[in-house]
Chain A
């Protein structure tokens, strides 16, 4: 069956909702395709606070943040929402094939907004030696099971990875009465936000084992325990110093991977640093008419940024359809020093937007850093950061005029 629409938004989480909200203000037909049974995406299972501090100037829980956006989007008449619908195929010419219980749909929108979010790195990706018993979960799956299905994954829990999801789940499981024996982190510094380290681990005396990793899994049918070992400066485990930790559940919080399988099928070039599409200031990918926002673009640490990205993607998808965006030339955004990645990765001219928001992540934690914006070799602007951490994104809104007179842009971060 054919479906006529102007903009398809793949994903009804915070990225999709924000882009629908901003695109919906114009009178174009918008279709949100969501594979779950309700909108809100991952927010529905994130029942802890920490959402909306920037956007709403209030601290909300995930479901509250989602409900505000859902209520706004549902009010807009030209936005249609399809739930329990899955996009099977995405083509470079923007054609989509989607499926739901009414049948198979062929859709040819004028613009596509990618808002598919991300998935978690799995136990299999880590290739941890040992057995393969029941009791090993990614932290996100455990979160869904506890917060939406109402079940404890286990009674004695070890968490591998000190990313935010792992820390949040440490607290959650403790509150549900499980024993959390510790969090194991391979690097010498923790991966999550400091407030989570304090409010999830310190508050409950849950030990954090830095520079350690899980080296063996034991248990035939159900997990019985794991061996952890310290790692050397290259990240290699020192097996001779391994020790056994008894547990019946292992939660993995070892990284998020943007879900770009559909983007790759549509032949949209992917940046191997962000694992998301290359985009310009419009959040338009190298393939015209495709936009990306949220965790599919790069893994964000605050949902507020996802919403900001969604608003831009939606606004620019409309501009694109109206013919306002013309890519006459483009320049790459170069980065060096302690900067590991940047979005957007290039600027298209004419710039059109009054300002460009840049998102950076650093490679290493450092005190007293400076971030320079250079045009050629000339430093145009400098920002000072008393502390930078890989877990905390750096976001800069820069007036577009700065980029008008140049064809060589570099951001570099050094220690002062």
Chain B
């Protein structure tokens, strides 16, 4: 291998894609059953403007650069993106002072269009905001997207350009050799010239594999969210922030690109990196703080909750470094917010880094663009009619909440990159993410999986490993009981 990328989140996949344009043998290793299973899947999905990080930090520079690149990347990869703007609300004089500070900081970081607007103007644009607000900072360049869909699309693009991808493969050891590194995983051993560490909350453990004396440590910080029904889509149109605190941008009210609303996240450090549970107190905190921004949120509109884990580190800034003692390895570690926004900038940094070391040649016929997948729900009636004429399975709707057809489900199951789990289909197609949350479509999807893959219905899992959907033995326990 020329390059092994450790970690299949937004950072690893965008880097893999960028490097896939060149004649390199690239392998991406992801320890979970699918890519984008960590922070990339559980976040606010905001493309930040860049007023928040301290000037001249890596965070500030990559944030602003990444923000500029988002339109292009999303167009090339056919992923939705919208600059919906943001408002940071101030409710008292101290907070108003903070708004001024953020405006100045933003300007220094190169953020355009920041302006303080009056309460009346704010309420005109966003009538549901708490009328006790005093002033707001308007951030026009703030945007929203679907980060895990972006990661999946980037990886598809990278794969089409020849990148090899191994799922459920975890790096256990890295040994320095003369001209490169030996990478040991739970399944294999590889030799590679270069390594790029994008391992999210495990980036510190990867660093420890080669720099055992490193003091760098990831402090997992949990953030909990509520998801509201699409019926609430007119609650707000821009992203609504409170004035930030030292540890987080605060509990927000964020529209998602699909039309839902997110409330959250809170911020609490945890011990266990794998603890993605929501908590009673945490959810209560999110609800109460969100109501301070938008008072009239009916609880009946809640359709889901989830928690994400930020890879906060004991360093103040992003760690983007090649250590002298371990040349050939580029680390992207401690990537908490604004990580998703910065990821396209990271891809450029990785590309530049490699260019300095190797004479990189662009591949012949590499693709920057991904073919837009066809989603029944996005097509016009004429397009639908035409597709059904070609293949009747386009007319058989399986997920009736999100209008997903049998054809799309089968195609994704057949795609070599798609893990054969329910969760993987959910991320790619939105099956089971609508009002009924899979209550109606799950039995049908299990049947389709069973027919396509020739395995019994109770073979399939929610997200790999032991997460079998049907835990009971195949019917007729009495038969088995009698045998014993």
Contact = CB atoms under 8 A, between A and B. Distances in A.
Interface of A: 1, 35, 84, 86, 88, 97, 99-104, 119-120, 122-125, 127, 129-135, 137-138, 140-141, 144-146, 148-155, 176-178, 215-218, 220-222, 239, 248-249, 261
B93 to A, nearest CB: 35
20 contacts: A101-B394, A103-B388, A124-B437, A125-B300, A127-B278, A129-B277, A129-B279, A132-B276, A135-B469, A149-B457, A151-B457, A152-B472, A152-B477, A154-B470, A155-B472, A177-B481, A220-B274, A221-B463, A221-B466, A248-B471
Interface string B277-312: 111101100000000000000001011111000000
B393 interface: yes
Interface string B357-386: 000000000000000000000000100110
B282 A176 contact: no
Given A119-B435, A151-B475, A152-B475, A131 B470 contact: no
Contact of B302 (A101, A127, A151): A127
B276 A155 contact: no
A122 B303 contact: yes
Contact of B395 (A97, A99, A152): A99
Contacts of A132: 276, 306
B227 interface: yes
B410 to A, nearest CB: 13
B396 A152 contact: no
Contacts of A97: 381
Contact of B443 (A102, A129, A144, A221): A144
A153 B439 contact: no
Given A122-B437, A123-B437, A153 B282 contact: no
Contact of A145 (B282, B389, B470, B477): B470
B400 interface: yes
Given A152-B472, A152-B477, A215-B280, A104 B384 contact: yes
Contacts of A146: 475
Interface size classification for chain B: 35 or more
A101 B437 contact: no
Nearest to B403: A88
A13 to B, nearest CB: 13
B471 A129 contact: no
A286 to B, nearest CB: 20
Contact of B467 (A134, A151, A261): A134
Contacts of A129: 277-280, 282-283, 305
B131 interface: no
B436 interface: yes
Contacts of A149: 443, 446-447, 457
A158 B396 CA distance: 34
A335 B73 CA distance: 58
Contacts of A217: 277
Contacts of A176: 472, 475-477
Contacts of B278: 127, 129-130
Given A122-B436, A124-B305, A134-B461, A216 B447 contact: no
B145 to A, nearest CB: 22
Nearest to B405: A99
B397 interface: yes
A144 B384 CA distance: 30
Contacts of B440: 119, 141
A140 B439 contact: yes
